[in-house]
Amino acid sequence: MRIDILTILPRLLDGPFADSILERAQQRGLCEIHLHNIRDYSTDKHKGVDDYQFGGGAGMVMMIQPIADCIDTLRGQRNYDEVIYLTPDGSRLGQHMCNELSLKANLILVCGHYKGIDQRLRDHYVTREISIGDYVLSGGELAAAVLTDSIVRLIPGVMNDETSALTDSFQDDLLAPPVYTRPADYKGWKVPEVLTSGNARRIEEWRMEQAILKTQERRPDLLSNT
């Protein structure tokens, strides 16, 4: 998978992809992440990327030209499955969408700032608009990092234990059950007996029961999805 991220703040995204699972995914050649500074594509003599909005009102709008030129350049090099704009008024990101996007080959992510991007980009270039939650960030970069992390970890071979992504919360519309590690007794707080029983079937049943209980208690809305 290849992900191209268009941003006016590329340095903000240097960190999240340089460590741990995302670093390893890139080193193993399972995914490529490329950052593009939108400003580099501006034909404006001051390298401007934003301007006042037509009709007046507070807040700047990101101009169509630099972003359109950057997308055109990338599209001239390969086909893209989606051009995704990160925006609080997009469709809410969830595990099912992450699963779907992890199967794509090439994605472009566009990070907005200020009042957002010129509507004509959304009308003519963007194929999908995604929000990571009902709150407003100061730009799309952190949302792009969240989206990238949530999909790259699902690419086969990225996680060491292939099954671990399958047992994440939400994968089957259930929250994950509690987990424990050594010691089995810490100051009298004991690990549930079943987990040290060695009985694989009982352990599986206990985990499923716990997952259902936790989901009923915290996220009953998930149970009505099925």
Q: Which of 206, 96, 197 is nearest to 151 (CA)?
A: 96
136 lies in the binding site for ligand ADE (CB under 6 A) = yes
Site for ligand ADE in 116-135 (CB under 6 A): 131-133, 135
Shortest gap between Cβ of 216 and ligand ADE (angstroms)?
28
Shortest gap between Cβ of 85 and ligand ADE (angstroms)?
8
How many residues make contact with ligand ADE (CB under 6 A)?
A: 11
Binding region for ligand ADE (CB under 6 A) out of 36-44, 53-61, 71-79, 137-145: 137-145
The upper half-sphere exposure of residue 154, i.e. CA atoms within 13 Å in the direction of its Cβ, equals 19
148 lies in the binding site for ligand ADE (CB under 6 A) = no
Per-residue contact string for residues 28-67; x = within reach of ligand ADE by CB under 6 A: ----------------------------------------
Nearer to ligand ADE, 36 or 113 (CB): 113
Shortest gap between Cβ of 97 and ligand ADE (angstroms)?
13
Residues 48, 137: Cα–Cα separation, whole Å: 22
Shortest gap between Cβ of 5 and ligand ADE (angstroms)?
13
Q: Which of 13, 118, 16, 136 is nearest to 62 (CA)?
A: 118
DSSP string covering the chain, please? -EEEEEES-GGGGTTTTSSHHHHHHHHTTS-EEEEEEGGGG--STT---EEEPTT--SSEEE-HHHHHHHHHHHHHHS--SEEEEEEEEEEEP-HHHHHHHTT-SEEEEEE--TT-B-HHHHHHT-SEEEESSSS--SSSHHHHHHHHHHHHTTSTTSSSSTTTTTTSTTTTSSPPPP---S-SEETTEEPPGGGGS--HHHHHHHHHHHHHHHHHHH-HHHHTT-
Nearer to ligand ADE, 121 or 211 (CB): 121
140 lies in the binding site for ligand ADE (CB under 6 A) = yes
Nearer to ligand ADE, 70 or 130 (CB): 130
Nearer to ligand ADE, 141 or 207 (CB): 141
Choosing from 25, 86, 107, 154, the residue that interacts with ligand ADE (CB under 6 A) is 86
User: What are the residues binding ligand ADE (CB under 6 A)?
Assistant: 86-88, 131-133, 135-137, 140, 143
